[in-house]
Structure 1
Amino acid sequence: MSKDIRIKKGLNINMVGAADLSTSKAVLSNVYTLNLEDFHGITPKMLLKQGAEVKAGEPLFYNKNVEDMLFVSPVSGELVEIQRGARRKILAVKVLADKAQESVAHTKIDLAKTSKEEIKGALLKSGCWPFIKQRPYDVVANPDTTPKSIFISGYASGPLAADVDYVLQGKEAELQAAITALGKLTPGKVHVSVGNSGKSPLSTLQGIELHKVSGPHPAGLVGTQINRIDPINKGELVWTISPQDLIIIGEFLLTGKFNAERLVALAGSSVKSPKYFTTKIGAEISTFLYASGVNEENFRVINGDVLTGKKSSPDGYLGFYNTTVSVIPEGDDYELFGWNKPIFNKISTTRALTFSWLQPNKKYDLNTNTNGEHRAFVVTGQYEQVFPLDIYPMQLLKACMVKDLDEMEQLGLYEVAPEDFSLTEFICISKQPHQKIIREGLDLLQKEIG
């Protein structure tokens, strides 16, 4: 039996270039890269030296603060480069792939007989643990803690996001294995949210609390679902996992091998043939970007979706957690009197010379132009129109900016992640970097209070 969640506040950003439901195999990448920016808050310590030969699933580095937490190679090959920054800080690790792939073989796990500690140890040793993130702080989960519940969102409401129902087809066995294992790591429930289509492979799993979600974005964000189902109070923890990461965990449990395969949605109006590609974590984006072709020369590649992803180059590498690569026109031009004429080709939550509210289902060819410059915060009340959490967004942002720890706690910072403020950042008249502000606030709260 499912429990329905209906979200009313929000905004659907309908964009041209959604990926067709067809899949091609990406060209094999020469080099695979783990970018340390993907593991926020982790202090890496190398286990291997440059030039070492590695197998797929073999540990490359570990977390200095939790030494059992290993980060493994997505492919077998040679560790060709360890990029370092200031004070020899590790920025990225690159592996040159072999033509013939070889994986580390772990002992298969009998889920019916395996204990909580054995499952936890296996996930840590295999490199699957970094797929589990925790709230508060939106960081890789600490294995020494126990969450009150676990959340998995199988409903994608973001612009140009990968269709979760499509990418999970035929993976029921892996999903069930992962869910069974995760259920032993919490005394609470494993909450799984799906859309109303009724086609999700997640809806048939055993050992879950099923929720059907409807409404505009950010209904599909796990933070919105946590707020409606099991809100986080001070001193409490919940863990979150994405559906595609469940597949990797489940396959490891069933086969004993770490398979870093990803089904990535290449989407955006600058792509000639947007569709899905089978590739691996850390692969070069160019291996599938040019296979679909691009419509223009001046475009931006976004590693992730258009609201939460990071700017990348075509020669960049697929992020550890990313299942979407968005390619849209670069908005580096200026419109004459753009602020003082009727606007028909952009999305806006206001009705001042804008008309997107008359056509809620229209698809837009948006670019990266911010349509304004950074300025002081203006109190408009717009954030509350698209922010469905039971939190005051403007007040929380300002508390983070002035580093008021008491206010940050009382206003609900424990419950949010930067992605929860991606939509308020999109509509912000003041052009404030909301996600950056929340990230810095979370880091300060974790440092001072823990």
Structure 2
Amino acid sequence: MKILLRPVGLTFFFLATHLLQSQASAPGGSNLLFYGVAALALIIFFFIVVSVADNFMVIESKQMGIKDSSTMGLFPNIREFFRGKKPGYLDTAHVYTLTKGYDIPMAGAPQDVIREPNVTRFAVTPPDYFGLRPIPKMLVEEGDVVKAGDPLFFDKNMPRIKFVAPVSGEVIGINRGLKRSISEVVILADKEQVSRTYTLPGREASREELVEFLLESGVWPAIRQRPYNRVADPDIEPRDIFVSTFDTAPLAPDLKLALRGRMDVFQAGIDVLRRLTPGLVYLGLDGRGEKDSPYSVTRGVEKRYFRGAHPAGNVGTQIHHIHPCGRGENTVWTLGVEDVLLFGELFQNGRFDTSRLVALSGDSFSEPCYVRTYAGANIGELIAGENVREHSRIISGDVLSGTKKSTDNYLSYFDNQITAIEEGDHAEVFGWLIPNSAKASVSPTVPVLSNDLHLTTRTNGEKRAFVVNNDYEQVLPMDIYMTQLMKSIIVNDLESMEGLGIYELVPEDVALCEFACVSKQPLQQLLRQGHDTMIAQG
């Protein structure tokens, strides 16, 4: 029910109750008591009918795709009176305003400064691709010379999908991990990059011919499929394709910088995606700024604006509000901005180009900034010219869903951010017992007095019994019962997992819930465990 309607109904109820009590105590008040009870029942009945009608109007408007369904009820939402005025460019746009989420107030946001470090080593890491077998079929050996786009290996279960070199150079290492799994294929890059040459399919080519070309060219692994967020199956035709053009994760890079001077390349990539689905290509746009997103000029897409705190920029959140995904006919594909640019470079300029801007963020960097490099860059060489505080953790990605790395490791393929924050392994006197405003918390009982907090990797506790509260609901802008879903995963209840929405989620979608979890449960790990179970069961 609308928030404004609740106090009105309660006020009527208390006034009527007080009137009935006073009339009942008066002489001959029995008749008045009868009429008063009838009037009160009529008021309650009217209140219920109007409230139900109001809720049905909101639900129906949401199903019809009306821009802001929350304002389509009979009564105004009290939040509308205190919400800031929307920018003018949103007046005729399709806008989703999310009221749930949380922006972690961390110091160390990257400045608009772009540097070009001398990185000589790059790697393709099979663990970056969920669902890939740990020991793929290698097509190269140490000492081989490759061009950007040349195949390096393929999955034995998916031999049509080739995983290729991000740069040209010499293969100097095929590193192995546990049980002889391939952990990295390392390339010593040439000073002058050379791309493999391609014969591009014409615009009259069929979808099947286009798919075969993308598989052979090496750009196919950039497409991820939901559910499960694994490499897309070329035999499945997606219902829709989703691209998020902004990132709301802590200290995330500004994706508008990646588009500077490359709008034609981005448009070319979108044109390719439109030929891969019979449905729609949805573009998630940032509606939080005073100026319109530069991605808004893209043609041939359905544009949806999102306003709100993190995870408003997650493509999973956007899919949930636009058109939820699932198995079978509800399978969808997702790509990032860099992936669309990769497609665009291939079809616009005929080359395989994984160049990207990477944000060096976190207050362990003395000067957080951006660096220009290629996918899979060596982290040590990438940050060699930066002053990094000692005893810091290096993370490929953001602090919520990223992976801990060392300077000998390589940037994950789907990451465009390196975060460095202090290790929180020192002793803290009395811990959480001492009031401290220098900590981030979703709880309103902990005041946050600054938007630039010095945060560490400390989790302020360890795993404990699963406490049931509403912390997940405060930060997850999805209609999903997270606590019940996680418990069903723990007990391997397949039917409950499916019914509670496991197909809609990937680990990055629950990362903020993991941050807010008072039970310190590894929710991302649990969700991936549930995905493995569902895949194994078919």
- Say yes or no: TM over 0.5: yes
Counterpart for residue 414 of structure 2: 321
Shift in alpha-carbon separation, 1:234–1:129, aligned structure 2, 3 A? closer
1:255 aligns with 2:345: no
Counterpart for residue 51 of structure 2: none
Q: 1:34 aligns with which of 124, 134, 151?
A: 124
Counterpart for residue 17 of structure 1: 108
Structure with the higher helix share, 1 or 2: 2
Counterpart for residue 372 of structure 1: 461
SS of the residue 2:431 aligns to: coil
1:290, distance to aligned residue in structure 2 (A): 2.9
Matches within 5 A, 1:261-410: 261-294=355-388, 296-352=389-445, 354-356=446-448, 359=449, 362-410=451-499
Matches within 5 A, 1:10-409: 10-29=101-120, 31-43=121-133, 44-110=136-202, 112-196=203-287, 197=289, 198-235=291-328, 236-294=330-388, 296-352=389-445, 354-356=446-448, 359=449, 362-409=451-498
Partner Cα distance (2:438, 2:173) in 1: 45
Contact 2:108 2:452 in 1 (8 A): no
Partner Cα distance (1:434, 1:87) in 2: 26
Q: Deviations over 1:138-180 (max 9, x none)?
A: 1011111011000011121111111111222221111111111
Contact 2:226 2:326 in 1 (8 A): no
Partner Cα distance (1:183, 1:309) in 2: 30
CA RMSD of aligned residues (A): 1.4
1:429, distance to aligned residue in structure 2 (A): 1.1
Partner Cα distance (2:327, 2:374) in 1: 37
Partner Cα distance (1:275, 1:85) in 2: 33
Q: Which moved more, 1:114-123 or 1:392-401?
A: 114-123
Q: Deviations over 1:33-56 (max 9, x none)?
A: 111110111122111222222111
Q: Which structure would you say has the larger RCO, counting Cα contacts within 8 Å and 6 or more residues apart?
A: 1
SS of the residue 2:204 aligns to: coil
SS of the residue 1:164 aligns to: coil
In structure 1, stretches of 5+ residues that fail to align are none
Identity of aligned residues (%): 43
1:199, distance to aligned residue in structure 2 (A): 4.2
In structure 2, stretches of 5+ residues that fail to align are 1-91
1:285, distance to aligned residue in structure 2 (A): 1.3
- Residue 41 of structure 1 aligns with an amino acid whose one-letter code is G
- Of structures 1 and 2, the larger Rg is shown by 2
Contact 1:302 1:327 in 2 (8 A): yes
SS of the residue 1:292 aligns to: coil
Partner Cα distance (2:272, 2:427) in 1: 53
Counterpart for residue 414 of structure 1: 503
- Residue 238 of structure 1 aligns with an amino acid whose one-letter code is V
SS of the residue 2:295 aligns to: helix
Counterpart for residue 63 of structure 2: none
Q: Deviations over 1:192-232 (max 9, x none)?
A: 01112344332111110001110011111111111100012
Counterpart for residue 96 of structure 2: 5
Structure with the higher strand share, 1 or 2: 1
Contact 2:272 2:343 in 1 (8 A): no
Partner Cα distance (2:177, 2:390) in 1: 31
Partner Cα distance (2:243, 2:434) in 1: 44
Contact 2:227 2:326 in 1 (8 A): no
Alignment TM-score, normalising by the size of structure 1? 0.95
Q: Which moved more, 1:71-80 or 1:85-94?
A: 85-94
Contact 1:109 1:254 in 2 (8 A): no
Partner Cα distance (1:410, 1:234) in 2: 12
Alignment TM-score, normalising by the size of structure 2? 0.80
Contact 1:120 1:143 in 2 (8 A): yes
Partner Cα distance (1:152, 1:263) in 2: 18
Counterpart for residue 16 of structure 2: none
Shift in alpha-carbon separation, 1:85–1:156, aligned structure 2, 3 A? closer
1:269, distance to aligned residue in structure 2 (A): 0.3
1:430 aligns with 2:519: yes
1:402, distance to aligned residue in structure 2 (A): 1.1
Contact 1:76 1:101 in 2 (8 A): yes
- Residue 202 of structure 1 aligns with an amino acid whose one-letter code is Y
- Residue 203 of structure 1 aligns with an amino acid whose one-letter code is S
Q: Which moved more, 1:165-174 or 1:368-377?
A: 165-174
Counterpart for residue 447 of structure 1: 536
- Residue 130 of structure 2 aligns with an amino acid whose one-letter code is H
Contact 1:74 1:282 in 2 (8 A): yes
SS of the residue 1:339 aligns to: helix
- Residue 38 of structure 1 aligns with an amino acid whose one-letter code is D
Q: Deviations over 1:210-268 (max 9, x none)?
A: 01110011111111111100012442201000011111111011122111211101110
Q: Deviations over 1:64-114 (max 9, x none)?
A: 12211001111222212212234432221111223333221112344x333
Q: Deviations over 1:338-360 (max 9, x none)?
A: 221111101112244x212xx4x
Shift in alpha-carbon separation, 1:443–1:52, aligned structure 2, 3 A? same
Shift in alpha-carbon separation, 1:124–1:2, aligned structure 2, 3 A? farther
Contact 1:155 1:213 in 2 (8 A): no
Contact 1:418 1:436 in 2 (8 A): yes
Contact 2:221 2:231 in 1 (8 A): yes
